[in-house]
Amino acid sequence: MIVVTVDQRGSRRSGDRVPQLLELLGHHPTLRAFQRTAGDEVQAVFDDAAAAVGAALDAAGTGEWNVGLGVGRVNAPLPQETRAGSGPAFEAARDAVERSKRTQARVALSLPGQERQRPAGLPSEDPSARAARLEAELALIALSLRRRSEEQWSACRLRERGWGQARIAAELGVSQQAVSARLNAAWFEECQALTRAVIVALGDIEAAPDEGEARQNTETGVGA
């Protein structure tokens, strides 16, 4: 599972923006919907990496929220109330959102047990190593989204719907060359490609058994 925790930045200065955030993230499918946990913080549970990444980047891309993704197991049965949930994924999300407050991109990702030192010589595909790489990639995407102008966003949103440049140009009332320039300046294709790579890798990590589950399976002979 993937738990996404989002905490508002500077709420004392700008007031409570949670209602606007819930509207922004409302179209992403969740296993347990975004729900206010305390103050100006919200949390949701995902069983789909694409939806979790999309929601996290939508929030982080505004620059107004600290975002943490926690990947791992949740305690079953999962309550209907998101804020009543527990387990390693919730703990990892809490760690991630706290760490995100100390980063420029304001987004972080944690795995259960990620704080343990990785043994020397561990293969590069180890989930903890991949988590560090994914966090860096999420940060690059979020910072790229944050630098887009309104004109660039208008072109990017239509391109995300699958529209061609000619159709976008007609919709926005600009030349096709202008659309191309906006997409290029927004690093649209690069962000899309990197986002797809993050989703695939995060899905692989989310689907893999955590350390505790793997140990239990070994001891009981499951999967042997």
Say which residue the tokens 């699958």 belong to. 162
pLDDT at 209: 61
User: Residue 217 above 70 pLDDT?
Assistant: no
Long-range contacts of 156-165 (CB under 8 A, 24+ apart): 156/182, 156/183, 156/186, 156/188, 159/183, 159/188, 160/192
pTM above 0.75, yes or no: yes
Neighbours of 217 (CB within 10 A): 13
> What is the spatial distance between Cα 29 and Cα 92, in angstroms, rounded to a whole number?
21
> pLDDT tens-digit profile of 186-209?
999 999 999 999 999 988 887 776
pLDDT at 90: 96
User: Residue 16 above 90 pLDDT?
Assistant: no
User: Residue 114 above 60 pLDDT?
Assistant: no
Residue 85 or 208, more confident: 85
